[in-house]
Each structure stands twice: as C-alpha cells, then as structure tokens.
Amino acid sequence: MTDPILELTGITRRFGPLLANDDISLHLQKGEILALLGENGAGKTTLMNILFGHYAADAGEVRVNGRALPAGQPRAAIAAGVGMVHQHFTLAGNLTVTDNIVIGSESLWRIDSRRKEAKARIRALSQTFGLPVDPDARVGDLSVGERQRVEILKALYRDASILILDEPTAVLAAPEAEQLFRILRGMTAGGLSIIFISHKLHEVMAASDRVTVLRAGRVVAERRTSETSPADLAELMVGRSVTRPKRAAHALGAPVVVARGLSVGEGQGKTLTEVDFEVHQGEILGIVGVSGNGQAVLGQMLSGLARPSAGVLTLEGRDITRLTPREAVRLGMGRVPEDRHAEGTVGDLAVWENAVLERLHEPAFAARGFVRRSAARTHAADLIDRFDIRGAGPDTRTRLVGRQHAKADSGPEPGCPPALSAGQPADPRSGRRRHRRRSCRVAGRACRGRRDPDDFGRPGRGGRPVGPHPGHRQGPSFGAGDGGEGRCPDAGADDGRGLGGA
Amino acid sequence: MTEAFDILTNASLWAAVLRIATPLIFGVLGALLCERAGVLNLGIEGIMTMGAMAGWLAVYWGAGLWAGLLVAALAGLLLGLLHALLTVILGLSQHVSGLGITLFGSSLAYYLYRLWVQVGDLPPSIRPFQPLSIPGLSSLPFLGEAVFSQTAPTYLALALVAVAAWVLNRTPLGLALRMTGENPHAVEAQGLNPVMIRIGAVMAGSALMALGGAFLTMAAFNSFFPTMVQGRGWICIALVVFASWRPGKALLGALLFALFDAFQLRLQTTVSGVPYQLFLMAPYVLSILALILVARRARVPEALMQPYRRGER
C-alpha cells in the first residue's frame, strides 16, 4: 500500500455539549473513491468542513501528501489541492458561471481579470470531465444539476487533486445521480481521489471503492465495498440490526380522504390536472413522481395552504376543498411540510413553542391571552419522549435539533390525527423513521413518498403507490446526459434541501 | 413653455447640473460600493458632514486644497471603519448603526467646528477650488461653459465613475467585492476573506461619501454650516436603488436629479403665480416617480444587509 494522499488523524470537534467528531481518523489513497457513510448527525459534514478549513478542529491533524494543513484556512486547503462541493452550493445566483469559478483564483490586485483565458479553460475542463455548462450563463438561471457541475468545476479549476462531495445526490434525480457517479469514476481514472458523503446505501455500494462508517461522531467501521453488503452497512450505520419493518395484514376501513378531479392553475400553467385518489382508514398511500410535478401543491392543498381551481376534496365525508390552515389543524389533518424550515417550524423558537404554535387558540395551552407555559412544556416533553426526538429538550432552540425537525413537526398532532400528509418524509433519515410512523396507529395517512428507490432498494414506502403523477408541468431537459428526462429548474431545490440545517 | 425651453438651452443650466451632481456622484458611488459588498451604509449623511468639516478645516488651518480632500477622505475612512466594526465584525443591525453614525458624524463635525474655529458675525471662509480653464475645450461655444467650466473635484468625480465601473466589473478585486454582496459563503469557500472585503469596501465607500461632503465646503461654497448636507446623503441611498447598483446608471441618476434641481431653481424666478414650494418639492417627487418606474426591476445584491458569520449557513 502506498502512502495515502490524504490522512486525518484524531480529529475531534465539539459544538457546545455536542461532541460532533470524536477522535476520527481516516485516510484516502490516490485514485480512490471513499464513501463516508452515516446517519444525519453522525458528524460527516463537520468532518469534511474541518478538512476543508471551514472549521478548526479542537484536536487532530489533516495531512495532504504527508504535509500538515494549517487549521481553519480554506485557502490553504485549496492550495494543497483539496476541492469541496458543498451540499448547499456556495454559488452567487446573480453572477455568471465564469465569475463563480474564477473568484479567488487570481491575485486581487490585478488591474484586469483574464476572462478570455478563464473561459477557455472552463470550456476545456467541461469537455475533459464531461460537465457541460455555459461559462456565460447566469448561475441563477441554471438547473440544480448544472449548478452542481459549476460547483465541481470550481474545484477542478483550482487544480484539485482531492474532491470532497457532501451529499452530492441530495438534489439530483436518479438518472442525474447515476450520471454524476459515472463522471466521478472517470475522474479517478485521471488520478483524482474522491470522498463523498452519503447516507444512501445503494449509491455507496454502487460508486465507492471503500466505505468508512460514522456513527455519533466516531468511526465505527471501515470496509472494502466489494467485501460488504447493504444489510451489513445499514447495521453498522444505525448500530443495531435493521430488520425490514413488517406490516401486519389488516383490513382497510372506509375512505377517509377522497380527492376527485383536483386541478390547480389554469391553461398552460396547470400544475395539477384532475387528480383522483382515496385514502382508506389504516392505509398508507404513496405518491411518486419526479420533484416538480405537482406533489408540492398537492401537499399544500391537504394542509389548507393552497386551493384547487377545480375538484373536490373530502375528509370523512366532509367537504374540505376550501380548507384554511386553521381548519386543517382543527380537523386533525396532520402534515409534515416538504420544507420544514420555511413552513414547518420556526428555527429560533424553542421546541415547546413550536409544539403549541398552531394550538394556541386551545384553552389547554392559552388562557386569557397568556400562553400556559408549563402545560406547553409538559406537552413538548411528552412528544419528545413518545416520538424519540433525539438531541432535544423542550427548551432547545428548534434549529439546533437539525434534521429531527420532521418529528417535532408531526409531533404536535395529538395522538392520532385522522390523516397525516408528509412531503419527502424519509429523505434525510434512515430506516428508523419508518418504524416510528408505524408505531402510531392511525386511522389513515396520506404520504407523499420519495422519488427514487430508497436505501434498501425497495420502492417508496407507500402501502400503495400512485403512479407517475398526472401533473402537466413539463420542465425542459437540462444538459447532455440527463437522459432527456424532463425536470423543473427548481426540482431539487424543494426537496432534500430544506432539510439541511446543522 | 418658452421659458422652460430658454432655460434648457442655456449653458449655465448645464454647468449648474454638473455642479449640483458632483457631491451626489461621490455619495452614490460610495453607497454603491458598500452595498455591492453587502453592507447598507446609512451613516452617509453624517459621513458627508464630517468630510465637509474636516476638509474645510484642514484648508482653514493652512493645508492645500488637495491635502484638504485627503483629510476629508481620511475622516470618511475612520467613520467607515466604525460602521464596519459594528456591522461586519459584530454583526449588528446595519440600519441602527448607520443612523447612529449619521447622528454621531453630524454632531461631532459641528462640535469640533465650534471647538476649534472662532465664529464671528460671518462664518470664516477659505479660498475654494476655482473653475479649471482647459485650453481649447473651455473656449468652445456652449460646451465650454456647460461642461468645461467646472472645478477639479467635479472631473475627479466623473473619472471615479469610470474607475468604479472598471474595478467592479473587470478586476478580481471587484468580483470578490460583488460576490461578497451576493454570497459571502461562496467567497470563503474559495479561500478569500469576506470579512476583510466588507470592511475594505465600507471604508473605501465612506471615504468617497466624505469627498462628496468636502466638495460642498471646498468648491460649491467656502464655509462650513452644520446643516449643509441637507439630505443629499439620503438622495444618494435612493439613487443606488435607482441605478440598480451600477456605477454608470448611478451617474445618470445623479445628473437627472441635479437637472430637476437646477431646472426648478430657474423656474422659481421665471414663473410667477405658483408657490415656490412646489418647485422645491419637484426634484424629490420626480425622484420618487423615477424610482417607482426603474427600481422594480432592480436586482438587489442577495446578501445585502445579511451579517456574515463564519461556519453558519
């Protein structure tokens, strides 16, 4: 075995009481693809941010080609040949692709920027690595997939020999993700070494040479990909054996939520066209489709945030077509919005505040214009306990709870709401979430499922999938190699993205 | 109608337009630099007042006029540094800090003026910048009087528009500054320091604002009055929006406002029977109208007024 191109030893980093990285060591060989696997909150992103110099580690050392990197300096990391593709792209939407790529590559005191040469080089790099993008395009006009290419080109432009990708497929549709991994494979053939962060087992199995598994800030295992299995990795990742959740067979009851001919928008601008479905008591309904085909607006309708332009929606026989958010809460339509930061929770408020926010009109939580804080806290503590919301107390600021958001969010519904709708509920989580959902026995749930096969290679979690959604919105096709699949420019922006945080 | 036409074809009107526009050009360029880097600088009124006082005082104490401008710029740099410390390092509200600096700068200027200058019946005066005579150009008919009869700072202001446009759009420094105003995290991820860039931009912008103030005491008039900036700073803040954060359009906006102002001054004396207050009001009303028409399409720097803290996203 040759000397590693990159070596991390004893990296430790605390954030307040949280030990995000606990004595982590790992190494990367030249030309290798290493997958960093772990649940959210396992410390993967923190580790990579330390490697790239966004944070300084409390202890430990990063060595590139045997030389130690000074802590906390992205500039030094870049100079040593480390390039990072951030999960939340670090791009300026109002500026051009070239602007975004060349910034930082020239001395600030030059009187004239070498634009022509820069563009030629960007074109050459795009060509070599199969990352087509127009150097003169405004980044804000690009699709998510194209933005990711720009982010990768940024690293390559700075002559990166080590590329770090933080959850690169979180924003991509399945064919785009496959394309990306083909490109990465080509890069390693050209001598690049790659670390990618993921929690998706199937892509780790498909794309990596070696896997390092993190759990709760520690390295728990290291495996050659060829010598492991998804089941093995899943177990290492969550720390206990993962059995496929089984559903006891039970008879379905009467229809609870019924949609007939739901449409949104007029003429060409239609985002939903005559959608029919019913959800029976005791049933989980999955709705599948590439992001941007109307799922978001359907979810909004189920929680009273959007109104259909035609069609009828009923809940237990009652017409709820003109539902207001307040009524949705009152009727017990539980929901987990797709973008939890924007619509679900208020990050700067405490968990207990979020827990009672939509129930402040109830005498249990407010009396004579005052919030009954002790009752609210007790309620929040109870929810945290019952739904296994990790890392939180009633007084924790909600944003610090990170990706456990969804739970806090669905938590408020008392016990068993007659219906729960969840937008991309499982995307940022591992299998555990699904256990939880099953453990609450409910009358009926509508679930908008994931758009790609999940970690265990099964289709979406729905009890009964409803096929490609008849939304009429057709996105243009982006760039070469996307397989010509129609996607909307914002397709990725409204899924997994909203779930980030920590 | 003929009066209006007569006024517009008179070279002295256009000379006045350039003169009135000069402090606005300095101020709007300064405000633009700050905002392009993501920092709103409402300290502009106070910084202009301070510049007006500092430059004038230096000359009153015997310095040359150019040295006076330098002193004014230095005063601006210092107030800019204060604003940057509060908003960039400490991440405080840019509105509150800016208004505070306006109050502080205006009051400090007057305080120092009263402390160091004996004021008799008439405020003491200096010999200000004189119109430059440019061989060949100044003797041209019409254009000579309209354009080439200005003082040196006016030409400096015009030149700075070109310099600012070049620096912003053509140099790596300008790109870093613009990127900082759009997404400071992107700047950091490329190995640059957005905090230093913001501090530098706010200081440089504040120096330009102070030069705008200095023009008032050192070219337009020859004495210092505590209220002489008279809202010109606020006009500059509005002009930045009008200009969609572009130096070229900022020049246009400053000239347009100056035209309204010069025009109404002359209308006041030629048109009778209309209360003069209406004319006084006109430039501001027209500016608001222009703002409504133009600024709706403006593309605001995305990170404007967002404090940058490392490691947070």
Measure CB to CB from residue A113 to each of B171, B191, B302 and give the nearest one. Answer: B171
Instruction: Give me the mean pLDDT over the B186-210 stretch.
Output: 96
Query: Which chain B residues touch A91 with a CB distance below 8 Å?
Result: 183, 186
- CA nearest to A407, candidates A391, A395, A419: A391
Q: Cβ–Cβ contacts within 10 Å for residue A332, how many?
A: 18
Examine the pLDDT at A442 and tell me if it is beyond 80.
no
Per-residue pLDDT of A220-249, as tens digits, reads: 999 999 999 998 998 898 887 777 667 777
The CATH 3.40.50.300 portion of chain A extends over 6-238
- CA nearest to A261, candidates A253, A272, A269: A272
**pLDDT value, residue A486:** 32
**pLDDT value, residue A492:** 33
Mean pLDDT of chain A: 76
Per-residue pLDDT of A21-64, as tens digits, reads: 999 999 999 999 999 999 877 888 899 999 999 889 999 999 99
Per-residue pLDDT of B290-299, as tens digits, reads: 888 877 777 8
Question: How far is residue B174's CA from residue A16's CA, in Å, rounded to a whole number?
Answer: 38
**pLDDT value, residue A333:** 76
Range of the domain at B36: 2-117+147-295
Residue B127 domain flag: no
Examine the pLDDT at A126 and tell me if it is beyond 90.
yes
pLDDT grade, residue A463 (50/70/90)?
A: very low
Residue B140 domain flag: no
Going by CATH, does the domain composed of A247-345+410-502 fall within 3.20.20? no
**pLDDT value, residue A291:** 59
Q: Is A406 exposed, middle or buried (0-12, 13-18, 19+ CB in 10 A)?
A: buried
**pLDDT value, residue B24:** 97
Are B189 and A90 a contacting pair at CB < 8 A? Answer: yes
Residue B308 domain flag: no
More confident residue, B157 or A438: B157
- CA nearest to B199, candidates B89, B291, B283: B89
Return the HEC string of A344-395: HCCCCCEHHHHHHHHHCCCCCCEECCEECHHHHHHHHHHHHHHCCCCCCCCC
Examine the pLDDT at B102 and tell me if it is beyond 50.
yes
Measure CB to CB from residue B170 to each of A103, A108, A112 and give the nearest one. Answer: A112
C-alpha distances (whole Å) from B54 to each of A447, B79, B114, B223 are 68, 12, 13, 12
**pLDDT value, residue B131:** 92
pLDDT grade, residue A338 (50/70/90)?
A: low
Residue B75: enclosing H or E segment and its boundaries?
helix B65-84
Tokens of A75: 């500039």
B206 Cβ contact partners less than 8 Å away, ≥ 6 residues apart: B30, B34, B41, B43, B47, B76, B77, B79, B80, B81, B83
Q: Considering only the top CATH level, what class is A6-238? A: alpha beta
Residue B307 domain flag: no
Q: Cβ–Cβ contacts within 10 Å for residue A161, how many?
A: 17
Instruction: Give me the mean pLDDT over the B260-267 stretch.
Output: 89
Secondary-structure breakdown of chain B: helix, strand, coil percentages, each rounded to the nearest 5: 70, 0, 30
**pLDDT value, residue B245:** 94
ipTM of this complex prediction, to 2 decimal places: 0.89
Task: State the CATH number of the domain containing residue B188.
Answer: 1.10.3470
Residue reference for tokens 């999955």:
A286
Selection from A349-363, A488-502, B73-87, B260-274 with the highest mean pLDDT: B73-87
**pLDDT value, residue B120:** 82
Tokens of A238: 């969550």
Q: Helices B194-215 and B152-170 meet at what angle, rounded to 10?
A: 160
Task: Show the beta-strand stretches assigned E in A255-380.
Answer: 255-264, 272-280, 284-287, 310-315, 318-319, 333-336, 366-367, 370-371
> Which residue of A47, A55, A90 to mutate against B (max B Cβ within 10 Å)?
A90
Examine the pLDDT at B288 and tell me if it is beyond 60.
yes
Instruction: Give me the mean pLDDT over the B23-47 stretch.
Output: 97
The four Cα atoms A85, A89, A95, A97 give a dihedral, to 10 degrees, of 40
Residue B312 domain flag: no
Question: How far is residue A147's CA from residue A324's CA, in Å, rounded to a whole number?
Answer: 37
Distance from CA of B313 to the nearest CA of A (A): 8
**pLDDT value, residue A18:** 82
Are B173 and A109 a contacting pair at CB < 8 A? Answer: yes
Measure CB to CB from residue B172 to each of A55, A78, A110 and give the nearest one. Answer: A110
For chain B, how many structural domains are there in total? 1
Residue B235 domain flag: yes
Examine the pLDDT at A139 and tell me if it is beyond 60.
yes
Per-residue pLDDT of A465-501, as tens digits, reads: 444 333 333 333 333 333 333 333 333 333 333 333 3
**pLDDT value, residue A292:** 62
Per-residue pLDDT of A299-321, as tens digits, reads: 878 877 788 888 888 888 888 88
More confident residue, A293 or A450: A293
Instruction: Give me the mean pLDDT over the B87-101 stretch.
Output: 96
pLDDT grade, residue B5 (50/70/90)?
A: confident
Per-residue pLDDT of B145-173, as tens digits, reads: 888 889 999 999 999 999 999 999 999 99
pTM here is 0.77
Distance from CA of A105 to the nearest CA of B (A): 8
Q: How many degrees, rounded to 5, is the angle at CA A169 between CA A494 and CA A295?
A: 30
